[in-house]
Structure 1
Amino acid sequence: MRVSLEQAIAKLKQGEVVAIPTETVYGLAADATNDTALKKIFAIKQRPADHPLIVHIGDISQVNDWVTVFPEVAIRLATAFWPGPLTLVLPAKNHVSRVVRGDEPTVALRVPNHPLALALLKQSGLSVAAPSANLFTQLSPTTAQHVEAGLGEAIPVLDGGACNVGIESTIVSVAANGQWQLLRPGMINQEAIANIANVGLANVTASDEAGGSIDIDASQTTPKVPGQHALHYSPRTPLRLFNDRVSLNQACKTFTEAHVTCAAMLIGNGDAPSCKAMTLPDQPDKVAEQLYSTLHSLDAMQVDCLLVELPPHTPGWIAVLDRLHRAGHQ
């Protein structure tokens, strides 16, 4: 159900949920101070209650309403990247809802870079929690049509067109002492974070810590944040990942001979498989922008299996690789 900006604001103030556009993906929004409304998000998404929500605020001046400390490192990051696809995880004030925090001592905040989202936040005076407007672990929506296909047409949707970043925000936690951790990769990469934070790359990432490759201060804990579930961002159709075009094309041939239908997502130039295929340009930002939309289109083909060509394992592709590996988790 499409709604106007004014209708969306009215519904949010009445404690309802509304799907709203951001530059990353569409979010299922609710008043971040209304526990009853927040619990509707979890019910609709079938999301575990201990998964924190990201609170979308109108500008940097509102951060201190939510946090006990706003470290200088976090201020620099917010100043550099807000409005934009960066979420900061900071120590929460006691009044911040345990529902929005997922019982964590921290709160996740960002200022979205989408004109409709910013207008909604400014005109309503609200801050809204807005995880992706889809069922838990399924493909994120980057259009109003994706929201309706995934959650049903009864969900109010504020249509702001296609999302132009296309994957979820980078998440960085900053402790009271200024130490930071990259908890979810996004299109603002670790090097860009380090350059602004001015602390260098000695800071541990969540993946480094999980792999045991770096010794860290035992007092520095890793907050729970969205997007860490092993299976995430996943189409309904089984998905297989391939490191190169040759192996993908061979798999397509094998499936076809076994009368298994398939469709493929390709990156860049190269020999095409015999099955239906969609090709994305060999550019990380373009693939990110089109990734979920492409997977939604392939999913709608109702084939037996999706074949996905992985991009190179290089720093510029880390965020796309993260989403694809979680989408294809077995």
Structure 2
Amino acid sequence: MIRQGLLVGFPTETVYGLGANALDATAVAAVFALKERPKFDPLIVHIADPSDLSDLVKDIPAAAKTLIERFWPGPLSLVLVKQDCVPDIVTAGLPSVAVRCPGHLMARTLIREAGVPIAAPSANRFGMVSPTTAQHVREQFGDRLSMVLDDGPCRVGVESTVISFVESPNGMATLLRPGGVPLEEIEAVIGPIEKSTHQPSRPSSPGQLTSHYAPRTPLVIADQDTTYNDHQRRGLLCLKTPTNAASFSAIEVLSESGCLRTAAVNLFAAMRRLDAIGLDCIIAEPVPEVDLGLAIMDRLRRAAAK
């Protein structure tokens, strides 16, 4: 189906993707149309094997090669200068492209069988909560999607970490989006990297827009000064079981043990469940910004910015 220019929903270790032939501009345009995604927001291209990267990019710096050897296949995307074969619609007209080799056997098998790289954002309407099961994808798109491959829930649960080698004038690696590979693990391999702290006028990778990953229900990140309206139906999204459970109409605990990796796996599904029950607001408790907690807080802040 990918070779025929059709779209396929498929699992990865991070979230479910909405895939099209990355070398077919018409097919990629259909991804933007189905998602209602603005064309200034570039896509990530997925490859079946790390050796396929050189077909899509012009140069691979030594630090990028080190990351590939350590983390691919896996939840890490690298932004590098693109080859001319990559259509401008994939990169939003930028001279660079984000590429990753997913750490999911079904995803890599799909790419290999298609015989082409697959451009794939998350399989949901633009700006909304990412899907971590095939059912989430079906709920979003119904019969407007040709096929949805189902391999159960995603085992990482948040999108890939995005590292750019084109942002910094000195060629230093730059973190554009925290994700499934913790920043600490990356810096342990290649040393300190720059962090993109500003909101770009033009995104150079997915996940950089201020508002993203958002439920329909307003989401607020709690702090010590948060006050509650007693007449509101509130839901709580928290790491561990709270002591003030009676204050909420519904509670989603991300990890009874406080494990941030388990919390990441459960994050989007928990947000979806709270969003589906007619609450007035969702209160999200902050988590420590270490390991995958950095990615969790990135998603919560963008969800709260709606």
**TM-score, length basis structure 1:** 0.85
What is the alpha-carbon root mean square deviation over aligned residues? 1.9
1:79 match:
69
**Which residues in structure 2 correspond to 1:1-330 (within 5 Å)?**
11-155=1-145, 156-175=147-166, 178-197=171-190, 200-201=191-192, 203-207=193-197, 210=198, 224-243=204-223, 251=228, 254=229, 257-258=230-231, 260-274=232-246, 275-281=249-255, 282-314=258-290, 316-330=292-306
Give the letter aligned to residue 16 of structure 2: Y
| C-alpha distance in structure 2 between counterparts of 1:171 and 1:278, whole Å | 28
| C-alpha distance in structure 2 between counterparts of 1:187 and 1:166, whole Å | 8
| C-alpha distance in structure 2 between counterparts of 1:265 and 1:191, whole Å | 25
| C-alpha distance in structure 2 between counterparts of 1:223 and 1:240, whole Å | 25
Once the 2 structures are TM-superposed, how far is the Cα of residue 67 of structure 1 from its aligned partner? 0.8
Give the letter aligned to residue 250 of structure 2: K
Q: Which has the higher helix share?
A: 1
Secondary structure, in 3 states, of the residue corresponding to 2:89? helix
Once the 2 structures are TM-superposed, how far is the Cα of residue 196 of structure 1 from its aligned partner? 1.7
Once the 2 structures are TM-superposed, how far is the Cα of residue 154 of structure 1 from its aligned partner? 3.2
Once the 2 structures are TM-superposed, how far is the Cα of residue 223 of structure 1 from its aligned partner? 6.6
Q: Is the 8 A contact 2:11 2:149 kept in 1?
A: yes
Once the 2 structures are TM-superposed, how far is the Cα of residue 87 of structure 1 from its aligned partner? 0.1
Once the 2 structures are TM-superposed, how far is the Cα of residue 293 of structure 1 from its aligned partner? 0.6
Give the letter aligned to residue 38 of structure 1: V
Secondary structure, in 3 states, of the residue corresponding to 1:13? coil
Q: Is the 8 A contact 1:243 1:311 kept in 2?
A: no
Once the 2 structures are TM-superposed, how far is the Cα of residue 123 of structure 1 from its aligned partner? 2.0
Number of residues paired by the alignment? Answer: 297
Secondary structure, in 3 states, of the residue corresponding to 2:216? coil
Unpaired runs of 5+ residues, structure 2, are none
Unpaired runs of 5+ residues, structure 1, are 1-10, 212-221
| C-alpha distance in structure 1 between counterparts of 2:142 and 2:235, whole Å | 25
Once the 2 structures are TM-superposed, how far is the Cα of residue 124 of structure 1 from its aligned partner? 2.2
Once the 2 structures are TM-superposed, how far is the Cα of residue 315 of structure 1 from its aligned partner? 5.5
Q: Is the 8 A contact 1:74 1:178 kept in 2?
A: no
Give the direction of change, closer, same or farther, for the CA distance of 1:17–1:301 in structure 2 (3 Å limit).
same
Q: Is the 8 A contact 2:64 2:78 kept in 1?
A: yes
Q: Which protein is bigger by CA-based radius of gyration?
A: 1
